[in-house]
Structure 1
Amino acid sequence: MTGNEQTPPKLRRSLNTPLLTLYGLGVTVGAGIYVLVGATADIAGPFAGLSFVVAALVVSLTALSYAELATRYPVSAGEAAYVEAAFQNKWIAVLVGLAVAASGVISASAVAIGAASYLHDLTGLGTSWLTIAIVLLMGLIALWGITESVYIAAVITIIEITGLLFVIGWGMSIPDPQGYAVSDMIPTFEIETWRGIFAASLLAFFAFVGFEDMANVAEEVIDPVRTIPKAILLTLILAALLYLATSVTVLIVVPIETLSLSAAPLALVFSEAPLAVKQGFSAVAIVATVNGVLIQMIMASRVIYGLADRGHLPRALALVPSATQTPVIATLLVVAIILTLTQALPIDILAERTSQIVLGIFVLVNAALILLKSKQATSKPHFRVPVLVPVLGVVTSAMLLTAGFL
Structure 2
Amino acid sequence: MISVDDYRERITALLGTAPATSLPLAAAAGLVLAEDVLAGVSLPPFDNSAMDGYAVRAADVTTSPVTLPVADDIPAGRVDVGTLEPGTAHRIMTGAPLPPGADAVVMVEDTDRGTETVTITAEAREGAHIRRTGEDVVAGTVALPAGTVLGHSHLGLAAAVGLAEVRVHRLRVLIASTGTELIDAPAPLRHGQIYESNSVMLAAALRELGCEVDVVRSVVDDVEEFRKVIEPRLAGADLLVTSGGVSAGAYEVVKDALTGQGVEFAKVAMQPGGPQGSGRWQGVPVVTLPGNPVSVLVSFEAFLRPALLAALGHTDVSRHQVRARLTEEMSSPAGRRQFRRGVFAPSGREVTGVVGPRGGPGSHLLAAFTQANCLIVLPEDVTSAAVGDEVDVLLL
Q: Which has the larger strand fraction?
A: 2
TM score, norm. by length of structure 1 = 0.23
* Structure whose residues are more often helix by fraction: 1
